[in-house]
């Protein structure tokens, strides 16, 4: 199989990085399509790996910390970065206490990504029990967080410097006055714009996640013509969410906190997820991603693209280890 065919099978973010390396005449090899693993030569003639978007120039310890929501929160607190009230526990009774105090909570597994095991806006003990058991399918330890009402924002930091931001909107459908919500989801998933193979920035709406979020209404509710209905809890792109450019909207305090935790973790690239209540201008760090999608900042669903790919490749080929 030639390089062009292999290149087309890379995940979209890895493919964009690969294309930029090729454009600059940098030696780069595709080692494994399944994991989007590359090997390239930097400006010092040293070979390096890229897994998805993470280079071996980033700190391995930082990557381990970023993969744990609990460890990430601990580092954020030490840095003075606000985080939602939360507990990490295997005891559902402790989670019920958090719900009794904050009235609305989010439950997710300690480890994981892509919205798997996540349930949002939990307001009752019945919802809590269901969400708790769902999260435990993915990890024995769960995180229960205070629910923050606001915009879901991903800030991308490259080489310790803020580059771009997008707001993430949960998957939604528009009613036609005839179809059920599930039928609307099927129609939306059939459009050319959506693709679920990680080579498109607008993926299929996950029907299992939608059924969990909507319950029986997914098959029994007909949405009024023109009415927009949210169909999934988490705003993750992997569940069908969309992205909207917000680089010039985020506050200087959010940028400072995103840069601080990225530098502390020693990551060359980092996606910092925050909830932002614009009415009070307060933000809360939710988690960080050491292998963030860079494509969403290169060509977001609406708004303008950025120079993040070029800036990241600059770092890949020129900076020393763990700069």
pLDDT tens for 118-161 read 888 899 999 999 999 999 988 888 889 999 989 999 999 999 99
User: At which of 211, 236, 261 does a domain end?
Assistant: 236
Task: Kindly state the helix (H) or strand (E) to which residue 185 belongs, with its residue range.
Answer: helix 181-189
Mean pLDDT of 230-241: 86
Output the average pLDDT for the chain.
Answer: 89
Specify the number of domains making up the chain. 3
State the pTM of this model: 0.85
Residue 315 lies in a domain: no
Residue-number span of the structural domain to which 116 is assigned = 85-147
Residue 28: predicted pLDDT: 96
**Per-residue pLDDT reduced to its tens digit, 251-281:** 999 999 999 999 999 999 999 999 998 888 8
User: At which of 186, 218, 236 does a domain end?
Assistant: 236
Residue 128: predicted pLDDT: 93
Q: Specify whether 38 is located in the same domain as 89.
A: no
Residue 156 lies in a domain: no
**Per-residue pLDDT reduced to its tens digit, 60-111:** 999 999 998 889 999 999 999 999 999 988 889 999 999 999 999 999 988 7
Q: Is the pLDDT of residue 3 over 90?
A: no
3-state secondary structure 206-247: CHHHHHHHHCCHHHHCECCCCCEEECCCCCCHHHCCEEEECC
User: At which of 130, 147, 164 does a domain end?
Assistant: 147
For residue 28, count other CB atoms closer than 10 A to its CB. Answer: 23
Q: Is 180:222 a contact under the CB 8 Å cutoff?
A: yes
Q: Specify whether 182 is located in the same domain as 230.
A: yes
Residue 211 lies in a domain: yes
How does residue 198 score in pLDDT terms, banded at 50, 70 and 90?
Answer: very low
Q: Rounded distance, CA 138 to CA 54, Å?
A: 23
Residue 265 lies in a domain: no
Task: Please report, for the domain that includes residue 131, its CATH number.
Answer: 3.30.1490.20
Residue 105 lies in a domain: yes
């Amino acid at each position: 199989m030639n390089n062009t065919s292999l290149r087309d099978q890379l995940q979209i973010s890895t493919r964009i990085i690969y294309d930029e390396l090729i454009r600059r005449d940098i030696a780069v090899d595709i080692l494994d399509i399944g994991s989007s693993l590359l090997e390239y030569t930097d400006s010092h003639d040293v070979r390096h790996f890229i897994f998805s978007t993470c280079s071996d120039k980033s700190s391995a310890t930082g990557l381990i910390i970023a993969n744990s929501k609990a460890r990430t929160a601990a580092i954020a607190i030490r840095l003075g970065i606000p985080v939602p009230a939360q507990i990490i526990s295997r005891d559902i009774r402790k989670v019920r206490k958090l719900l009794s105090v904050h009235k609305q909570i989010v439950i997710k597994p300690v480890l994981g990504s892509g919205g798997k095991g996540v349930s949002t806006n939990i307001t009752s003990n019945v919802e809590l029990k269901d969400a708790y058991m769902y999260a435990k399918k993915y990890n024995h330890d769960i995180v229960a967080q205070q629910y923050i009402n606001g915009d879901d924002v991903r800030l991308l930091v490259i080489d310790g410097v803020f580059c771009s931001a997008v707001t993430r909107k949960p998957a939604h459908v528009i009613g036609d006055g005839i179809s059920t919500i599930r039928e609307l989801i099927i129609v939306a998933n059939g459009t050319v714009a959506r693709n679920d193979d990680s080579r498109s920035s607008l993926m299929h709406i996950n029907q299992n996640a939608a059924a969990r979020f909507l319950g029986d209404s997914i098959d029994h509710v007909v949405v009024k013509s023109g009415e927009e209905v949210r169909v999934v809890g988490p705003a993750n792109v992997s569940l069908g969410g969309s992205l909207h450019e917000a680089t010039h909207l985020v506050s200087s305090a959010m940028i400072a906190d995103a840069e601080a935790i990225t530098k502390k973790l020693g990551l060359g690239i980092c996606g910092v997820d925050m909830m932002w209540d614009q009415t009070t201008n307060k933000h809360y760090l939710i988690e960080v991603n050491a292998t963030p999608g860079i494509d969403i900042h290169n060509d977001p669903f609406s708004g303008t693209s950025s120079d993040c790919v070029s800036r990241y490749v600059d770092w890949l080929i020129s900076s020393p280890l763990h700069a």
